Amino acid sequence: MGIVHGDEMVLNIGPQHPSTHGVLRLKVHTDGEIVSKITPYIGYLHRCFEKHCENLTYEQVIPFTDRCDYISSMNNNFGYVVTVEELMDIHVSEKVEHIRVIMAELNRIASHLLALGTFGMDVGAFTPFLYMFRDRENILDLFEMTCGARLLYNYMWIGGLSHDLPVGFVEKTYEFLDYFEPKIKENDDLLMYNKIFIERTADVGVLPPEVAISYGVTGPNLRGSGVQWDLRKDEQYSIYDRFDFEIPVGTGQMGTVGDCWDRYWVRTQEMKESIGIVRQALKQLPTEGDVQELVPKKIRPPKGSIYKRTESPRGDLGFYIISDGKPTPVRVKLRSPAFTALSALSAIAEGWMISDVIAILGSLDIVLGEIDR
């Protein structure tokens, strides 16, 4: 007796669906509950980011980078300004570097909280999601205090920052870190070490390291597969060489290396490391100095091109910029980490059940704003 194969059913997951993390459409061929083929369709959020950049001055591009990966706008700002500064050979002051690192790491925590919360919701746990959003709120309050915005900051400028740190920011940040550190454990006990959650995620959607590398998957998804690759250490930029932090990699504690549980675990550990980095940066933070003293009056990078990548919460965020010496770039290309993560979905999720596909998609933590640009 063989396995009986019925007719396949074509199922459209999205564009309107609770678990597609934006406006993604997955065309899924199913045999009963088993998914045999997945085709992602993207482009529902396309806003011509790269074409817009060709018609804007360099500093006008910064708000557009906010809107790419809207969950971690600080990191997008960071990646773009670091690239342009290297093209123009600007070296920003110590104070600016420190503030940038603090903001980027706080945003990484906020982004991971959202990723973990929505992942939990994808497997049916609603309460951890709200706990994580409650904590994320505090980070957004810090950002609001600094630059007035809660989601799209436009905070980092080429050569500086839009605002200096407000009075009381350092104390409030310490307060938040002290509050938040025990909360990580609380959330982990509630969701990560829950038996049902382990059943749902361990050994599910295994992304082997060689597949991850061949698809160009980066960030926590790659580290979840056990590959130690973090641009903050491997392609050092800004002042990350001064901080002491570990790069957590998936070890297959609950199942196979590279399963959904490992990707979840890596993110929780990264939040702890980010807390450490913020603490160190706050300690070393110089108080004197103007954050805008090096902002050029006219931004006209010399002729040439540059490709530079930074570690966003989702992986290698690369900017390729071609300049012809005029105030507007000839070409800006964004290398999106979420795009490569999505491309690996069909490789790892085919053959699993519909519920698992949703869980795997959640574990990859994609942001459609960045994929479609």
Partner 1 sequence: MVVDNLMQWFESWTLWEAGSPLLFLIVVVIAGVPIFLLMAVNALVAVYAELKISAFMQDRVGPMGQGPGLHAGKWGLLQTVADALKLLLKEDIIPTLADRKLFIIAPFIIFVTPFIALAALPFNQNLLIADLNIGVFYILAVGSISVIGIIMAGWSSNNKWSLYGAMRSAAQIVSYEIPVALSIVSVIMLTGTLSMQGIISYQDGTTLGILPNWILFNNPFSFIAFFIFFISGVAEVNRTPFDIPEAESELVAGFHTEYSGMRWAFFFLSEYANMLIISGVAAVAFLGGWHSPIPGFLESPGWSLFWFISKVGMLIFIMMWFRWTFPRLRVDQLMNICWKVLLPLALLNIFGVGLWGLFVA
Question: Where on the chain is the footprint of partner 1 (CB under 8 A)?
Answer: 9, 11, 17-19, 33, 120-127, 130-131, 134, 190-191, 194, 196-197, 199-200, 353-356, 358
- CA dist 369 and 41 (Å) reads 14
At a CB cut-off of 8 Å and minimum separation 6, what does 253 contact? 261, 262, 265
Closer residue to partner 1, CB minimum distance, 197 or 215: 197
b/e 277-289 (16+ beta carbons within 10 angstroms → b): bbbbbbeebeeee
Q: Which is nearer to partner 1, 11 or 48 (CB)?
A: 11
* 54 Cβ neighbours under 8 A, 6+ residues apart: 328, 329, 330, 331, 332
Which residues face 319 on adjacent strands?
A: 308, 334
> CB–CB of 202/261 below 8 Å?
yes
Measured CA to CA, the distance from residue 26 to residue 241 in angstroms comes to 41
Work out how close the CB of 353 gets to partner 1 at its nearest, in angstroms, rounded to a whole number: 6
Least distance (Å) between residue 90 CB and partner 1? 45
Closest approach of partner 1 to the CB of residue 124, in Å: 3
Nearer to partner 1 among residue 32 and residue 304 (C-beta): 32
Q: Residue 137: which residues within 8 A CB-CB, separation 6 or more? A: none
> Could you tell me which residues are beta bridge partners of residue 304?
323
- Looking at the Cβ atoms of 21 and 100, the one nearer to partner 1 is 21
Q: How far apart are CB 286 and partner 1 at their closest, in Å? A: 37
* Cβ at position 234, least distance to partner 1 in Å: 35
Nearer to partner 1, 33 or 144 (CB): 33
Output 222 or 368, the one with its CB closest to partner 1. 368
Nearer of residues 156 and 204 to partner 1, judged by Cβ: 204
Provide, rounded to whole angstroms, the least separation between the CB of residue 190 and partner 1: 7
Beta strand spans in 77-190 (E):
156-157, 160-161
The CA dihedral of 205, 206, 207, 211, to the nearest 10 degrees, is -110
Nearer to partner 1, 34 or 322 (CB): 34
Residue type at position 280: Q
β-strands 315-323, 34-41: how paired? Answer: unpaired
**Residue 189 C-beta: closest distance to partner 1, Å:** 11
Which of 30, 67, 37 is closest to 373 using CA atoms? 67
Smallest separation (angstroms) from partner 1 to the CB of 132: 11
